[in-house]
Structure 1
Amino acid sequence: MKYVSATEAVQVVRSGDRVYVHAAAATPVILTQALTERAEELRGVEMCHIHTEGPAPYADPKYIENFHVNSFFIGKNVRHTIAAGNGSYTPVFLSEIPQLFRKGILPLDVVFIQVSPPDLHGYCSLGVSVEATVAAIECARIVIAQVNSFMPRTFGDGVIHSSKIDYGVVHNNPIFASATLPISEVENRIGEHVAGLVDDKSTLQMGIGSIPNAVLSKLTSHKGLGLHTEMFSDGVIDLIENGVITCENKGVIKGRVVSTFLIGSERLYRFVDNNPFIEMKEVSYVNDTSVIRRNPKMIAINSAIEVDVTGQVCADSIGSKMYSGVGGQMDFIRGASLSQGGKAIIALPSVTAKGENKIVPFLKHGAGVVTTRSHIQYVVTEYGIADLYGKTLLQRVKAMAEIAHPNHRESILKSYFDQVK
């Protein structure tokens, strides 16, 4: 690894190159900023990544001739690029993104990563985000790393020798941290319903946010839980420290938490630093349905933008407007469904903050179906649980209406049956 400035490092990027950017809290913003400062020298550079945190200056529509954003999962900082025309979305399961690089479907020229400083043996750590970055490092022509002493050292697939890095840019600053938001009464009730579906010795998958935290807060009396999840946040720390999450009953990598990235507070980053209980693996492994299903009593807890009364789940768009992405929802929905004693759960409030239904007779025009009606099992709102597995369409419609907001149940049923007559 040759140490240079950020300005010097990004000189290797050429017009027409494809650049992969390390994701989530590991986003190396010092490198993306330095590259953006070269914008006038470049044309047609493709910036590809899943959800990233922090500013994304290259995504400014004024650089439409210089950079094009290719999102595998759309984050807030680049969402505007879809409408502005300087970005697009590639529909793909998170588990399959590494294949895009390894199979040469999307050849990579440069990868921007963020790592911990090398240890005595020359090894760095990708820290809080492994996802598809290991494959990107393997396949890219040039690897550029922000070397940051604030990056936690984690175990697993994210250990990389400094000899695999072409250029290192030393820049020590705290990585992105997110505050834990308060749990609302609606989220609290959803958490109670979901927690009631979780048996002792289950293995959990859940994301970040108030609903996952609400569920976790209700599991303090459970025993022998495991964690095999695409990502996690602060909500698991107390359960681990209090002996609720032990991972002793898992089917794969028993005795270890398995994840592919994490986002949270500084407390979370201190907790995972040099902690052998945390195993960070590539997303092609963590989200592999054949791996997930080997965990008995696998519980997958995911959310949605809206769900229709037959069980179709839209989780990536608001009508035809792309909002996020397919992500790993289907990976875990299917894996949990195939697990012995497993349960696949979609948890969401019955209405939006504006009072619009999230349980709907029909999905909005142009809405994407992420989880199909044939994959769905449980749908949970603050009003209860709808078990749709093995149910007819008529049975599903009635069950879904019962967990919709009481003010809208009659209109949901009327709208559905008026259309299907």
Structure 2
Amino acid sequence: MVVNYSTAENAVKEIKSGQRVFVHGSASTPMSLLRALFKRSVELKDVELVSITTLGDDLFNIPDFGASFFMNSLFVSKNVRQIVNGTNGDYIPVFLSEIPILFDKGILALDVALIHVSEPDKHGFCSLGTSVDIARSAVKNAKHIIAQVNKQMPRTHGDGIIHISEINTLVNVDEALPEVNYGNRVDETAMTIGRFCAELIEDRSTLQMGIGAIPDAVLSCLRDHKDLGIHTEMFSDGVIPLVETGVITNKFKKKHRGKIVTGFAIGTRKLYDFVDDNPQVVFLEIDYVNDTKVIRANPKAVSINSAIEIDLTGQVCADSIGTYQYSGVGGQIDFMRGAALSEGGKPIIALPSTTKTGESKIVPFLKEGAGVVTTRAHVHYVVTEYGVAYLFGKNLRQRAMALIAIAHPMHREWLEKEVIKRFDMK
């Protein structure tokens, strides 16, 4: 099959001032296309970029970004945090499962989509690779599609198959995907939390894990478990050893039995090789993966997510530090609710008891301006390195005492005094 390729510089000339441009995210961030676009900054004005997490630490560090571009973020990643919290960007609070609705209904009408795909096969089909999530909807709805075709992008099974006839412009690249090794970030605190979480997970459970050191720590503590399944919005390298040793079999899932289901994957090259042409792993659209009806269909669904802080009633802030937008709502509430509704399911919030500077993450009140991502009515289990607090069915005072019991010892007296002020002075 003969495929005609353009250069990145020529491809992005299709983007005009005032347009809204979708940017493929996570390990599929189309870096060559973005760098070519940013070189046109002097020619452009009011180009709105829309994306979830992107990788590439210095990717958006261009002079006078705000003179040409505006980052309208659906989930704030490290490389755009400063932009989003300044005058050249903003954040849209939205459940990850509902982002495709924004594209489908034209609430965020897309002029152009910049995507990153695998090489076409002999039939002309490419794959959206490591990130199907919201990208499939973006491709369906954008008026003009520009694809970075990369021989190092894994070809993944599921909803991410796209024919070259759907793509307006193809750009050939040969570049390594960005890598993140969450396992290197696991410390003793994360391992202790991981062991407590592992004790809550029964054999034949179906797991969802968030991003970071704690999920990898939990996975490393599951080596003696049997017949676990995976249905998650994303996963990383920590899953691979459990597949290789037969701990993860997906045998007892009711949805997609025998398959690992995900929306996207971020990790090292080992992970990208693992998912490449692997029929055991299916990448599906996020409005399906994160649908609570689908999540709850699997028995013993376990959702493990983290938080920036949690107040004494169980309100979880996971997206902001006061008014500073740190990340996003993402899929936490999708899976927390889905797991709670699953037969034998367990929604878990797992977090260290303190910040790196020693401040308590269990607090009397969330910081002024902080967002409540998961309400106190949704929270069942909270885990720190000091144990497990079970909040479901407990009143406000009981919740406070349960959370104090897993707070760092140096903060417990202060928290107890706050409880007295709140409940004994009414």
Q: 1:132 to 1:25 in 2, by over 3 A?
A: same
Query: Which of 393, 396, 418 in structure 2 is aligned with 1:393?
Result: 396
CA displacement at 1:244 relative to structure 2: 0.6
Aligned partner of 1:37 in structure 2 is 39
What are the within-5 Å matches in structure 2 for residues 65-214 of structure 1? 65-179=67-181, 180-214=183-217
1:335-382 deviation line (CA, Å, top 9, x unaligned): 000000000000000001110100111111111100001111000000
What are the within-5 Å matches in structure 2 for residues 9-408 of structure 1? 9-55=11-57, 57-58=59-60, 60=62, 62-179=64-181, 180-408=183-411
Read off the aligned partner of 1:77 and give its amino acid letter. N
Read off the aligned partner of 2:236 and give its amino acid letter. S
Is the partner of 1:78 in helix, strand or coil? helix
User: Distance in 1 between the 2:231 and 2:326 partners?
Assistant: 26
Read off the aligned partner of 2:148 and give its amino acid letter. Q
User: Distance in 2 between the 1:176 and 1:195 partners?
Assistant: 30
User: Distance in 2 between the 1:336 and 1:322 partners?
Assistant: 27
Give the conservation status (yes or no) of the 8 Å contact 2:18–2:47.
Answer: yes
Read off the aligned partner of 1:283 and give its amino acid letter. I
Is the partner of 1:344 in helix, strand or coil? strand
1:233-290 deviation line (CA, Å, top 9, x unaligned): 0000010011110011112111100000001111111111110000000111111111
User: Distance in 2 between the 1:103 and 1:167 partners?
Assistant: 25
Is the partner of 1:24 in helix, strand or coil? coil
> Structure 2: any 5+ residue segments left out of the alignment?
none
Read off the aligned partner of 2:352 and give its amino acid letter. P
**What is the TM-score normalised by the length of structure 1?**
0.98
> Structure 1: any 5+ residue segments left out of the alignment?
none
User: Distance in 1 between the 2:132 and 2:103 partners?
Assistant: 15
Is the partner of 1:35 in helix, strand or coil? helix
User: Distance in 2 between the 1:309 and 1:61 partners?
Assistant: 44
CA displacement at 1:63 relative to structure 2: 2.3
Q: 1:94 to 1:56 in 2, by over 3 A?
A: farther
User: Distance in 1 between the 2:22 and 2:67 partners?
Assistant: 18
Read off the aligned partner of 2:284 and give its amino acid letter. K
User: Distance in 2 between the 1:61 and 1:14 partners?
Assistant: 19
User: Distance in 2 between the 1:10 and 1:280 partners?
Assistant: 28
Deviation beyond 3 Å, 4+ runs, structure 1: 55-61
Alpha-carbon RMSD across the aligned residues, in angstroms, is: 1.1
Read off the aligned partner of 2:150 and give its amino acid letter. N
Give the conservation status (yes or no) of the 8 Å contact 1:181–1:209.
Answer: no
User: Distance in 2 between the 1:238 and 1:266 partners?
Assistant: 15
**What is the TM-score normalised by the length of structure 2?**
0.97
CA displacement at 1:419 relative to structure 2: 3.8
Read off the aligned partner of 1:347 and give its amino acid letter. A
Give the conservation status (yes or no) of the 8 Å contact 2:364–2:415.
Answer: yes
Give the conservation status (yes or no) of the 8 Å contact 2:26–2:131.
Answer: yes
User: Distance in 2 between the 1:417 and 1:373 partners?
Assistant: 20
Q: 1:247 to 1:111 in 2, by over 3 A?
A: same
